[in-house]
Structure 1
């Protein structure tokens, strides 16, 4: 729930969204003078104190858009969230030092709830470039989904960009059932891939504290409850990676599939008691389709040892092909190994 204070603040989700002030100019520079912000937003680059002052003045003069600093206590800005009252669209940015703490998802949740409940917007949209997988993941985790309309061609800082429309409907906020669950949830081929949650810790230990998983993956061994808790924290962080439990009904995890957009790569593991059911190939098919169709990744790769015939078989059944790229040599757990590249093209 989003609460609005008399001073224009929006509070909830452990956050306080407030208006920018002149005292925030140095924080603005820290936030916006960043390569990722320059790449994905129309803000000036480089973004110095002069640019910050202009941005602050423009924000105060713009009565049709909310420019709110993201804070946890109403003081130090950790990012910004915007809401256009005319286009009913949102945007946000998080400081590099504050990423991975769930701030982006919580801020997006909060401003979206405010738009639905206080402003009575039936629909809120986010315009995201296909290559901006970090923002796509944040949107997906906040309950946004790609809309049916065609991508739009826009001009930003003199360059033409294509954006995909993601939408959040007010009706989805109050409904029960599977669609009410936020986060990445992929359904198909008899599987439900969903995000990990606290109640999965015992299942994580059961799945990953396994000799084959220990040998073929970089996961720690032994994999106990402490390791599971640490792994869950990473899985739930805003780090751009997608880590999903493999299930048949949204319940008991039988394995995991990963997508790492920053390296255009995927990975997977299936518990020993669930092997032989085609779970890995089906899960890889699902996450690969998501990578191509939603995340806009033209290529997805798997890195597999030549001796790992089970994983090689999964890659082949999922439509991947072995490339002629030289193997990448790495050392994991004291073992030197060669990883061969398999690829799937959109």
Structure 2
């Protein structure tokens, strides 16, 4: 006699004591509509818009067939015992594991607004990945639309390896295909971050506040007016016109573990005045005790000590021991154009000294070449 297991009994119940992965039920439908009509969900998924209870009920049938026929395995999430002391969330999102036999499996997820920022999806993805590997998944791949930083941070937290951007890889709205970020996890890999991701701490000075960049910071940025060889770049610049693309490049570098990046903001108005970063050119910040500092100001912010104060704040944080909340950098270096006296003054006032000069580095518009200076600051503590 053979036994056929039907939905919801076919769905395993997975839990770490805080988050539960379980079968979706009729009781979850109103909350799933809330999730599916939330702007973030609409932005990053192909869920129908508008989305109604009837749509949710039809999707529940799709989920049921997937489980019973060995197709996509979609779990409902529940925050049952919050570690943060907040309220439980009976329906915290959906996570689907797309089973592909012996080929690579895929994972996708969406979090209910009430559960965002509470570590729910990270815990859920670890549970789902362990289950998928027990079921025979040779690998687990994640794809997300370019710019979906919340989704990438979840994938990063569970130890997925970043593979880059794939052109026209995922379905978008209105039948369009879109570029996608890609990462993967193998069965024998630890489910912990593979690289650091340093969120810039807020540092307060008398004139400035160093803080993470925000999406709306580009509104007050001005066209550049400094010589091209002072800040050589082949990509988007720190201006209002280029800001979305410029900010995405900065955030990508931060996500790679190579950079901690600050917006230099006016302390009173919080308006963006410039950019400052501490970075390594190879590897990650936690793999070296030597790092480089770079900075730039929007034209109207110059000449009043803004960059000097910002540099001093960043240096203090960079050389602070890791145990004390800093980066633990022993030696900071910088490179400037020799004729950029304003930038050279900032470094001197921040404690840097020149250790070298390279001749004829940058070609100028008139055909001549400019020299470069190399600076260092060594923490002796």
TM range (shorter): 0.5 to 0.7
Where do residues 103-122 of structure 1 align in structure 2 (5 Å cutoff)? Answer: 103-116=120-133, 118-122=134-138
Give the whole-Å Cα distance in 2 for the aligned partners of 1:6 and 1:77: 19
Alignment-derived partner of residue 22 in structure 2:
18
1:140 aligns with 2:144: no
Aligned equivalent of 2:78: 71
Q: Tell me if 1:46 matches 2:50.
A: yes
Instruction: Identify the residue that residue 128 of structure 1 maps to in structure 2.
Output: 144
Q: Does 1:185 align with 2:196?
A: yes
CA-based RMSD: 4.1
How far residue 292 of structure 1 moved from its aligned partner, in angstroms, is: 3.5
In the alignment, which residue of structure 2 is the partner of 1:330? none
Q: Of 297, 305, 308, which aligns to 1:322?
A: 297
Name the CA distance, whole Å, in 1 between partners of 2:129 and 2:143: 14
Distance 1:65 1:39 in 2: 23
- 1:80 equivalent in alignment to 2:99: no
- TM-score of the two chains, using structure 1 as the length reference: 0.55
> Does the 8 A contact of 2:96 with 2:109 survive in 1?
yes
Structure 1 residues 179-258: aligned runs within 5 Å: 181-182=192-193, 185=196, 213=204, 215=206
Contact 2:142 2:182 in 1 (8 A): yes
CA gap of 1:29–1:326, structure 2 versus 1, over 3 A, is farther
1:262–1:288 CA distance, 2 compared to 1 (3 A): closer
Q: Is 2:162–2:183's contact at 8 Å kept on the other side of the alignment?
A: yes
Q: Cα distance 1:182–1:100, how it changes in 2: closer, same or farther (>3 A)? A: same
3-state SS of 2:40 partner: helix
Q: Point out the structure with max Rg over C-alpha.
A: 2
1:186-205 superposed Cα distances (whole Å, 9 cap, x missing partner): 6xxxxxx5x89xxxxxxx9x
Corresponding position: 1:91 with 2:112: no
Q: State the partner residue of 1:335.
A: none
Pick closer, same or farther for the CA change 1:67–1:312 going to 2, 3 Å. Answer: closer
| C-alpha contact (below 8 Å) 1:141/1:184 kept by paired residues | no
Q: Unaligned regions of 5+ residues in structure 1, if any? A: 174-179, 187-192, 197-203, 219-256, 266-286, 328-346
Does residue 61 (structure 1) correspond to residue 27 (structure 2)? The answer is no
Q: Give 1:282-297 correspondences, 5 Å limit.
A: 291-292=251-252
**Residues 155-201 of structure 1: per-residue CA shift (max 9 Å, x gap):** 3232221112111122212xxxxxx7427516xxxxxx5x89xxxxx
* 2:188 paired with 1:171: yes
Q: Which has the higher contact order (CA 8 A, sep 6+)?
A: 1
Distance in 2 of aligned mates of 1:26 and 1:288? 35
Query: How many equivalent pairs are there?
Result: 231
Give me the whole-angstrom Cα distance separating, in 2, the residues matched to 1:49 and 1:114: 30
Alignment CA distance shift 1:167-1:315 (3 Å): closer
In structure 1, C-alpha distance between the alignment counterparts of 2:158 and 2:112, rounded to whole Å:
19
- The Cα of 1:305 is off from its aligned counterpart by 4.5
Between structures 1 and 2, the one with greater helix share: 1
Distance in 1 between the 2:251 and 2:148 partners?
12
Please say if residues 73 and 96 of structure 2, whose CA atoms lie closer than 8 Å, have aligned partners that are also in contact. Answer: yes
Q: Write the deviation string for residues 228-263 of structure 1: whole angstroms up to 9, x where unpaired.
A: xxxxxxxxxxxxxxxxxxxxxxxxxxxxx9655645
Partner Cα separation in structure 2 for residue 137 and residue 53 of structure 1:
30
What are the Cα deviations for residues 11-42 of structure 1, in whole angstroms up to 9, with x where unaligned? Answer: 22521111111222112111211111111111
